[in-house]
Structure 1
Amino acid sequence: MIEVLDFIGVFVFAISGVLTAINKKLDLFGVFIIAFVTALGGGTLRDALIGRTPVGWMQDLNYVYLIIVGYIIALIFRNYLNKLRISLFLFDTIGLGVFTLIGIEKGLEYGLHPTICIALGTITASFGGLIRDILCNEIPLLLRKGTIYATICIMGGILFFIAQFLGLNDSINELITSLFIIIFRLAAVRFNWSLPVFSIKA
Structure 2
Amino acid sequence: MARRPRHLSPEERALWDSVARQAAPMHRRRAAQSTHVSAPKQPAPEEANPPARFDPLPRFHVGQKADAARPDDLLPGLRDRLRAAPVAMDAKAHGRMTRGKLKPEARIDLHGMTLAEAHPELVAFILSSQAMGRRLVLVITGKGRARDYDAPMPVRYGVLRHQVPQWLALSPLKQAVLQITPAHIRHGGEGAYYVYLRRAR
Q: TM-score range by the shorter chain?
A: under 0.3
Rg larger for:
2
Greater helix content: 1
TM-score where L is the length of structure 2: 0.27
TM-score where L is the length of structure 1: 0.27
More contact order relative to length (CA 8 Å, sep ≥ 6): 1
